[in-house]
Amino acid sequence: MCLSVKNENIKNRSRKLKKRDYRKSQIIQLNNLVTLFYVKYGILINFINTQNYFITLNLFSQLLLEEMGVSTLVHYWVKLYYSKIY
């Protein structure tokens, strides 16, 4: 019985670490996008949330970092969105 409790604790710990690593990678990818587009982090998040893409932020950032044509289009949209707000 003690062994099963120990195994559950190990599973829980590894699940938490996996979740933390996933969140860190998502933040790093979004920070790369912010530096790529020369915009503020909050503006990029607001743009993603208001445009109703129905995809996660991690998938969105991976798509933009891997596909160059998509990133130039989104760069144009973000700059247009930024100019309309401010």
pLDDT class of 83 with cuts at 50, 70, 90:
confident
pTM, whole model, 2 decimals? 0.48
Q: In this predicted model, what pLDDT tens digit does every residue of 27-79 receive, in sequence order?
A: 777 787 777 777 777 877 777 777 766 666 666 666 666 666 766 777 777 77
| Total domains in the fold of the chain | 1
Q: Look at the alpha carbons of 26, 34, 84, 75 in this order and tell me if their dihedral is positive or negative.
A: negative
Domain residues for 28?
A: 2-85
Burial class (CB in 10 A: 0-12, 13-18, 19+), 61: buried
